[in-house]
């Protein structure tokens, strides 16, 4: 999985300033999508190459007189093609995390296209990393007893970056800078 920050102020990137804290304006937005290194043509080529190799193995054993191996080789080739298709289908999943002045919204899209949306009040929102021995920590956001995990498929480094960026956006939303009644643009050094 990879996480792409779409809007907000992020660790090491202060060129993108946050908009004002007006209700409804998006202060932070991150899109989490599966990382897939193969293009459509690459997937087809890999599937054809692996299925062809299975066919060659089956053909070789057929010439040696062990014709039952053809059945297992064909099943193996079909399984490889099915698993490549399944990997491609699961790449359609995504998770969108949006923070506005009053709400944190998490929109999850399953590989089949079904969407689930959860909205939490950002007034008392808590961002927490739950450490687990020998495993990638869990990134939990929540209010009181209502907690949800975000970025479940991210690696540890990406998950920590997401947590830091979300905490920074929450801090800036809760602590705007004022000068004589006017709200100042965010200071990137804070």
| Ranges 35-39, 54-58, 142-146, 179-183, most confident | 54-58
CATH topology of domain 2-36+93-177: PH-domain like (2.30.29)
Asked if 81 and 51 touch (Cβ cutoff 8 Å), the reply is yes
| Mean pLDDT of the residues in the chain | 82
pLDDT in tens, 72-123: 888 988 998 898 888 888 888 899 999 988 899 999 999 888 999 999 988 8
Backbone angle region of 45, left / alpha / beta, with phi > 0 → left and psi within -120 to 50 → alpha = alpha
- pLDDT of 16: 40
- pLDDT of 176: 74
In three state form, how does the secondary structure of 115-172 look? Answer: EEEEEEECCCCEEEEECCCCCCCEEEEEECCEEEECCCCCCHHHHHHHHHHHHHHHHH
- pLDDT of 150: 93
Q: Please, which pLDDT band fits residue 180 given cuts at 50, 70 and 90?
A: low
Measure the CA angle with vertex 117, ends 151 and 21; round to 5°. 80
3-state secondary structure of 75: helix
- Kindly state the average pLDDT of the residues 15-37: 69
- pLDDT of 12: 41
The packing angle between helices 69-90 and 40-63, to 10°, is: 170
pTM: 0.69
Candidates 79, 74, 83, 81; CA nearest to 54 is: 74
- pLDDT of 39: 84
Rounded to whole angstroms, the Cα distance separating 47 from 24 reads 46
């Amino acid at each position: 999985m990879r996480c792409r920050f779409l809007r907000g102020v992020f660790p090491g990137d202060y060129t993108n300033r946050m908009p004002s804290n007006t209700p409804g304006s998006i202060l932070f937005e991150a899109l989490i999508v599966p990382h897939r290194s193969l293009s459509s043509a690459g997937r087809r080529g890999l599937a054809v190459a692996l299925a062809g190799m299975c066919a060659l193995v089956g053909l070789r054993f057929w010439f040696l007189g062990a014709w039952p191996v053809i059945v297992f080789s064909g099943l193996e080739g079909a399984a490889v093609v099915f698993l490549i298709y399944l990997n491609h289908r699961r790449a359609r999943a995504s998770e969108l995390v949006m923070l506005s002045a009053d709400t944190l919204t998490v929109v999850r899209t399953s590989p089949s296209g079904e969407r689930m949306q959860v909205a939490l009040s950002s007034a008392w929102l808590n961002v927490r990393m739950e450490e687990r021995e020998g495993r990638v920590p869990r990134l939990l956001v929540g209010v009181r007893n209502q907690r949800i995990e975000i970025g479940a498929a991210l690696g540890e480094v990406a998950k920590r970056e997401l947590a830091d960026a979300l905490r920074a956006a929450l801090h800036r939303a809760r602590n705007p800078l004022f000068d004589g009644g006017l709200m100042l643009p965010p200071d990137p050094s804070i």
